[in-house]
Chains A and B, each alone.
Chain A
Amino acid sequence: MTVTSPPSQFTALPGGGIAHGSYADVPYEDKLALWEEVKADARFPDYMYGCYECGICVAACPSARFYDFSPRKIAQAAAREDVELVFEQMNDDVWNCSQCFSCNRCPRQNSPGGLITLLREVAVRNGLTTAKDALEGYGRVVYKIMTTGTQISPDMLQPDAFPDWGPDVEKTSDNLELWRRALPPETLHTTEMSWQVSDETLIELYLIWLHSDVMDMIEQADEGLHMIILDVMEETLEDAGYEV
């Protein structure tokens, strides 16, 4: 007996694992290079030991309840070093994780969430289109944090000021106080409370981001945003007496 017409997407891949990839147009070598970058990260050995499919990470994962997302699949693909599968996940699954690290209760001491951190960083650093798409909605948050050292607080949420936050922003802002009270933790911080960050702290934060390649990653993800942050922060630095 011989195989006459196997489904082409399931054929063995060069040096790879057993999965077919959804990104057939991307050369295998490129996918391999990204995986090698993930593996080369000093954190990798602490995030990936081995997986025996117990599923505790999925059971603990909030995202798994709402999305077609499984931290177990992330760990498995990494354990198998399945280049095709990892590339697929790097483009899709990793953006469904909220990075809460509930999955760290893994009895093998893996960290699927940590793997996702690495996969996201490599995706952004290499300017994958899917990473840019996934981060598009966060431009305002990034801008706010990196130029003020603090974030958007709930009382800033206004329908006319935040159209990019989707159709529900009006409903949310109308009943904001009620929504916030419905949340279990104390999250009622507003612009009037613990919100202001000193210039010294802001500059320190910014310099950390600048020297730890965070700014380079932002440039890969969103060139325009990178330019604006650079402009604002260079001015802040100059005002504070730094040579830019």
Chain B
Amino acid sequence: MPSNRVVVIGAGPTGLEAARLAAELGSPVTLIEKKDVPGGMPIHADYAALTHHFRDASEAMAEMIDAVTSNDLIDIRTGTEVTAVDGEAGAFTVGLAANGSSESVDAGAIILATGFQHFDPGRETQQYQYYELPDVVTIADAEKMIKSGSFVTPSTGKTPERVAFIQCVGSRDRQIGNEYCSKVCCGISSKQAIEIRQMVPDARVFIFYIDMRMYGYWENEIYWPAQEEHKVNYIKGIITEILPKGGRLVVRGEDTTMGRPMEVEMDVVILAVGMEPSEGTTAMSGILNLPTNKYGFVETAHDILDTVTTTVPGIFAAGAAVGPADLDDSIASAGAAAAKAVSLIRSAGVPV
């Protein structure tokens, strides 16, 4: 059945924005979320402050969620999964399952916004003994600690004196299979380094990196202040291994600037893990018959000049489902996807 409805899959920042805008443009929207609450990664992974303006993540997401739940044109379905999609552009039927019961909704267009998951440093290679050493954590773990308001050495509960970030964990790595840059980790590590320096002013914070990729205003708003005002130490050179020693961690690497090997003690080591396609992105690309690239992200049809149109007419993808993306990128592509979805419905002659 031809429909003027837009179905948005995933209620993270991208899905929320796509739903809000599609409704604002006049289409009824069904917003599907597998989890019981909307908000996506910033909510489910307990993000503290957003990069790069340090805005409180809960507060920002509450605003996005309010905009969707207060709109009568948007039907938000949490705890719901998409099980099947039939039909064609302008007249899809989307099968849904929730609490053991199933139903279907008609849709003129579909927007996939299923996002990413954090790289698991324990998978396959046991990088940096992440599963073995309690004081080796990821930026996702660190974010939770920062949000809790207390940054401590996990094994002792004590205030750390020396904290190290290791960049590009699970990104830019042929052996792992993720050759891409995850875009946001440099900014997030620098943001967290600033937060840790504020929470634990006596701690020395080091960031071991390959390149600091601080594009646009991240340079002057995060990177330079981290160095100049918050005295975060950036050392060019990646840590090869972390070893426990006398209750502390020894990190080994090369201080490439000085051309010397280094072996330094730390209390906490934070792995700047990158992005991988989420389980939802993998599952939905299968159900929607969307081709993925070799890394599992959804491939768009027209590359850089149209970042949201997929090879399946009527189905659009936005945010981190199509590749590593920061919030700015995600929100922008959500808007583009919503506009294109509504535009397609209108051009099919279905009144919106």
A residues with CB within 8 A of B: 1-3, 6-7, 10-12, 15, 17-20, 49-53, 72-73, 76-77, 79-81, 85, 108
Q: Is B258 a contact partner of A7 (Cβ separation < 8 A)?
A: no
Interface of A is mostly: loop
Q: Is B98 an interface residue (CB 8 A)?
A: no
A80-B235 CB under 8 A given contacts A49-B228, A50-B227, A72-B257: yes
A79-B227 CB under 8 A given contacts A12-B264, A17-B233: yes
Determine the distance from Cα of A10 to Cα of B243 in the docked complex, in whole angstroms.
14
Chain B residues whose CB sits within 8 angstroms of the CB of A81 once the complex forms = 231, 233
Q: Is A76 a contact partner of B162 (Cβ separation < 8 A)?
A: no
Within 8 A of A (CB), among B5-39: none
Determine the distance from Cα of A206 to Cα of B234 in the docked complex, in whole angstroms.
44
Q: Is B236 an interface residue (CB 8 A)?
A: yes
Nearest A residue (CB) for B259: A73
A7-B262 CB under 8 A given contacts A18-B206, A72-B257, A80-B235: no
Q: Is A50 a contact partner of B228 (Cβ separation < 8 A)?
A: yes
Chain B residues whose CB sits within 8 angstroms of the CB of A80 once the complex forms = 233, 235
Q: Is B245 a contact partner of A18 (Cβ separation < 8 A)?
A: no
Determine the distance from Cα of A7 to Cα of B223 in the docked complex, in whole angstroms.
33
Chain B residues whose CB sits within 8 angstroms of the CB of A76 once the complex forms = 257-258
Can you offer 25 A-B residue contacts whose CB atoms are under 8 A?
A: A2-B243, A3-B243, A6-B245, A7-B263, A11-B263, A11-B265, A12-B265, A17-B204, A17-B233, A18-B233, A18-B235, A18-B264, A19-B258, A19-B260, A20-B260, A49-B227, A49-B228, A51-B227, A52-B223, A53-B236, A73-B257, A77-B258, A79-B234, A80-B233, A85-B258
B residues with CB within 8 A of A: 162, 204, 206, 212, 223-224, 227-228, 231, 233-236, 243-245, 250, 255, 257-258, 260-265
Nearest B residue (CB) for A15: B204
A6-B263 CB under 8 A given contacts A19-B255, A52-B234: yes
Q: Is A49 a contact partner of B258 (Cβ separation < 8 A)?
A: no
Chain A residues whose CB sits within 8 angstroms of the CB of B264 once the complex forms = 10, 12, 18
Q: Is B257 a contact partner of A10 (Cβ separation < 8 A)?
A: no
Q: Is A10 a contact partner of B228 (Cβ separation < 8 A)?
A: no
Chain A residues whose CB sits within 8 angstroms of the CB of B245 once the complex forms = 2-3, 6
Chain A residues whose CB sits within 8 angstroms of the CB of B250 once the complex forms = 3, 6
Determine the distance from Cα of A81 to Cα of B224 in the docked complex, in whole angstroms.
16
| B210: min CB distance to chain A, Å | 11
| B213: min CB distance to chain A, Å | 11
Nearest B residue (CB) for A8: B263
Identify the 6 closest CB pairs spanning chains A and B, nearest first: A50-B227, A12-B265, A10-B263, A50-B228, A18-B264, A3-B245
Nearest A residue (CB) for B214: A52
Q: Is B224 a contact partner of A49 (Cβ separation < 8 A)?
A: yes
Q: Assuming A7-B263, A76-B258, what are 19 further A-B pairs, CB within 8 angstroms?
A: A1-B243, A3-B243, A6-B245, A10-B263, A11-B263, A11-B265, A12-B162, A17-B204, A19-B255, A19-B258, A19-B262, A50-B224, A50-B227, A52-B212, A53-B236, A72-B257, A77-B258, A79-B227, A79-B233
Determine the distance from Cα of A52 to Cα of B244 in the docked complex, in whole angstroms.
30
Determine the distance from Cα of A12 to Cα of B163 in the docked complex, in whole angstroms.
13
| A236: min CB distance to chain B, Å | 47
Nearest A residue (CB) for B224: A50
Chain B residues whose CB sits within 8 angstroms of the CB of A19 once the complex forms = 255, 258, 260, 262
A53-B257 CB under 8 A given contacts A6-B263, A12-B264: yes
| A6: min CB distance to chain B, Å | 6
A10-B235 CB under 8 A given contacts A49-B228, A52-B212: no
Determine the distance from Cα of A87 to Cα of B36 in the docked complex, in whole angstroms.
58
| B38: min CB distance to chain A, Å | 39
Q: Is A18 a contact partner of B262 (Cβ separation < 8 A)?
A: yes
Nearest A residue (CB) for B261: A10
Nearest B residue (CB) for A70: B257
| B221: min CB distance to chain A, Å | 14
Chain B residues whose CB sits within 8 angstroms of the CB of A11 once the complex forms = 263, 265
Determine the distance from Cα of A11 to Cα of B251 in the docked complex, in whole angstroms.
10
A73-B258 CB under 8 A given contacts A1-B243, A80-B233, A81-B231: yes
B206, B227, B263 pick with most chain A CB within 10 angstroms: B263
Determine the distance from Cα of A10 to Cα of B228 in the docked complex, in whole angstroms.
26
Chain B residues whose CB sits within 8 angstroms of the CB of A72 once the complex forms = 257
Nearest B residue (CB) for A81: B231
Chain A residues whose CB sits within 8 angstroms of the CB of B243 once the complex forms = 1-3
Chain B residues whose CB sits within 8 angstroms of the CB of A20 once the complex forms = 260
| B278: min CB distance to chain A, Å | 33
B236, B258, B265 pick with most chain A CB within 10 angstroms: B258
| A55: min CB distance to chain B, Å | 10
| A4: min CB distance to chain B, Å | 10
Determine the distance from Cα of A1 to Cα of B249 in the docked complex, in whole angstroms.
12
Chain B residues whose CB sits within 8 angstroms of the CB of A12 once the complex forms = 162, 264-265
Nearest B residue (CB) for A80: B233
Determine the distance from Cα of A61 to Cα of B332 in the docked complex, in whole angstroms.
44
| B160: min CB distance to chain A, Å | 13
Determine the distance from Cα of A3 to Cα of B246 in the docked complex, in whole angstroms.
9
- Contact residue among A2, A6, A50 (Cβ-Cβ distance under 8 Å from B244): A2
Determine the distance from Cα of A12 to Cα of B261 in the docked complex, in whole angstroms.
13
Chain B residues whose CB sits within 8 angstroms of the CB of A3 once the complex forms = 243, 245, 250
| A34: min CB distance to chain B, Å | 19
